[in-house]
Amino acid sequence: MIDLYTWTTPNGRKVSIMLEEVGLPYTAIAVDIRSGAQFEPAFLKISPNNKIPAIVDRDTGIAMMESGAILLYLADKTGRLLPKAPAAKWQAIEWLMLQMASVGPMLGQTHHFNHFNKGKSEYAEQRYRDETLRIYGVLNKRLGEEAYLAGEYSIADIATWPWISRYEWQGIDWTAYPHLKRWYLDIAQRPAVQRGYDVPHATTPIPLPQ
């Protein structure tokens, strides 16, 4: 049994989608980051950087923060969604690291400056919009070559997809990204993704570009 501390954000959804995909039993514990619940001392013991997601694996007693590390842990625990062949395995880790280092942090800045705080800084809006479009281009190119980021569906896709699901906040015109759109819509059809998206509670339906 896994305790998942989460909220309705892309980073939280990565882990609920993974848990749904591998079928591990888990309890979702809502940490409302709008009300400051991430700063509660009990939560900080599990997640010292005061961010969701975090897990406690009651089978092993292991507590973890950082979604990329958690995805690797769950893949290792279940033997699922990290390819076994060395080349594909390292590709999955490579694209997972790109998600953690670039996709999440840069698109997150776009949400901050271009969605929530428009008009505060023209420079930051331009900078993060350009970087978001550049990253969309990198992903689109890769997905024009492979069906999924590491060839087969893996934790790299699970880490990246929830960030792309915020494309409306990022002001994306899909015309330039047909391969990324195909991948996004394909993953959106997966029942485990649909269930994981609604954890810890349902918000709006998964957005689907035309």
Ligand X SMILES: N[C@@H](CCC(=O)N[C@@H](CS)C(=O)NCC(=O)O)C(=O)O
* Site of interaction with ligand X (CB under 6 A): 9, 11, 33, 38, 50-53, 66-68, 100, 104
Least gap, CB of 67 to ligand X (angstroms): 4
Q: Which helix (H) or strand (E) holds 13?
A: helix 10-22
Would you say 8 or 91 has its CB closer to ligand X?
8
Would you say 100 or 155 has its CB closer to ligand X?
100
Would you say 158 or 181 has its CB closer to ligand X?
158
Beta strands 54-57 and 2-6 are antiparallel
The token duo for 11 is 């980073």
Would you say 5 or 181 has its CB closer to ligand X?
5
Would you say 2 or 100 has its CB closer to ligand X?
100
Least gap, CB of 73 to ligand X (angstroms): 12
Least gap, CB of 159 to ligand X (angstroms): 8
Q: Which helix (H) or strand (E) holds 70?
A: helix 67-78
Least gap, CB of 175 to ligand X (angstroms): 28
What is the Cα–Cα distance from 95 to 149, expressed in whole angstroms? 7
Would you say 12 or 83 has its CB closer to ligand X?
12
Gyration radius from the chain CA atoms: 17
Q: Give exposure, 187-209, as e/b (b: 16+ Cβ within 10 Å).
A: bbebebbeebbbbbeeeeebeee
Q: Where are the alpha helices (DSSP H) in 85-200?
A: 86-98, 104-110, 122-145, 155-164, 178-188, 191-197
Backbone φ and ψ for 28, nearest 5 degrees, come out as -90, 130
Least gap, CB of 104 to ligand X (angstroms): 6
What is the Cα–Cα distance from 30 to 18, expressed in whole angstroms? 17
The token duo for 188 is 């959106």
Least gap, CB of 80 to ligand X (angstroms): 20
